[in-house]
Amino acid sequence: MTSDIIDEEALVEQAKQDPEAFGKLYELYVDKIYSYIYYRVGNRHDAEDLTAKVFFRALNHIPNYKNKGSPFAAWLYRIAHNLVANWYRDHKRRQEVGLDSLALNGAKQETPQQVAERTNGRDILLEAIQKLPTERQELLTLKFAEKMSNAEIGQVMGRSEGAIKSLYHRTLVALKELLSEHENLIIEPDIDDNTAT
């Protein structure tokens, strides 16, 4: 782990002096940043566009980057977070798909039971997550898609580790409440397991 940090620091220092050296940092993080953005915006085209903007902005600002005890990746995720927030503001939209809108997509009105029958547990879970506030969606993306610790999430979101633990617990409780209408899908928030650290 320590050699990874040293290697990352060396790459960052090289990239500050030589923009071509930035390519190694790009290769190291592009898939993770793309994945994070894709989970946030929900479509490939916008995710690719925003990922390119993250690395363009990072390349332009890397001479000003200062290691403040956080990994370089936290800085990239912070840039991605800000660009996604701007994207939502600019487009004035959120990815919310309710049962009513799903029913309206068909030629005839479906009952909630019919909608539930034609969707699987993953779809129901994603739908519930999309009803959460943007900040909580981001927390779940970083926690489960990016497999970050609470401390790393705190660095990306600009909050303390304790604040992230609290937000995570409240998010799981809210998600459980959203999913309570689905009898066959039970999710228990277990904050004592490894996902809470």
Mean pLDDT, the chain, integer: 78
- What phi, psi does 65 have (nearest 5°)? -65, 135
For residue 1, pLDDT over 50 is answered with no
pLDDT grade for 33, boundaries at 50, 70 and 90: very high
Q: What is the mean pLDDT of residues 72-94?
A: 83
The model's pLDDT over 90-149, given as tens digits with 9 standing for 90+, comes to 876 444 444 444 444 444 566 665 544 544 566 777 778 888 888 898 898 888 878 888
What integer pLDDT is reported at residue 120 of this predicted model? Answer: 55
- The larger pLDDT score, comparing residue 134 to residue 3, is at 134
What integer pLDDT is reported at residue 6 of this predicted model? Answer: 54
Q: How many CA atoms lie within 13 A of 57 on its CB side?
A: 15
**SS percent in the chain: helix, strand, coil, step 5:** 75, 0, 25
For residue 56, pLDDT over 90 is answered with yes
Cα separation, 66 vs 62, whole angstroms: 8
The model's pLDDT over 177-190, given as tens digits with 9 standing for 90+, comes to 888 877 655 444 44
Which domains does the chain carry? 2-91 (1.10.1740.10), 99-196 (1.10.10.10)
142 CB contacts (<8 Å, ≥6 apart)? 36, 77, 148, 152, 153, 156, 157
pTM of the model: 0.61
Q: What is the mean pLDDT of residues 65-85?
A: 87
Q: How far is C-alpha 117 from the chain's CA centre?
A: 28
What integer pLDDT is reported at residue 48 of this predicted model? Answer: 94
- The larger pLDDT score, comparing residue 66 to residue 162, is at 162
DSSP state of 190: -
